[in-house]
């Protein structure tokens, strides 16, 4: 996901997409990061509970 955010920053700096569209994509990437992070946290918690 870090690589995705890096590419999104490059796209923003190069002005390749309208800011509204880029904001929507960035927001979605942030949401996916949060979901994946929480999933990893939950999985680790369950493994420790065994």
Q: What is the pLDDT of residues 36-50, one digit of tens each?
A: 999 999 999 999 886
Residue 44 CA neighbour count, 13 Å, CB half: 6
pLDDT at 38: 96
Residues making up the chain, counted from first to last: 50
Max Cα distance, the chain (Å): 50
The CA radius of gyration of the chain, in Å to the nearest whole number, is 15
Q: What is the value of pTM for the model shown?
A: 0.72
Low pLDDT (below 50) residues in the chain? none
């Amino acid at each position: 996901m870090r690589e995705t955010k890096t590419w999104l920053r490059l796209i923003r700096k190069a002005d390749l997409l309208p800011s509204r569209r880029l904001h929507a994509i960035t927001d979605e990437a942030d949401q996916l990061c949060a979901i994946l992070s929480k999933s990893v946290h939950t999985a680790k918690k369950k493994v420790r509970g065994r």
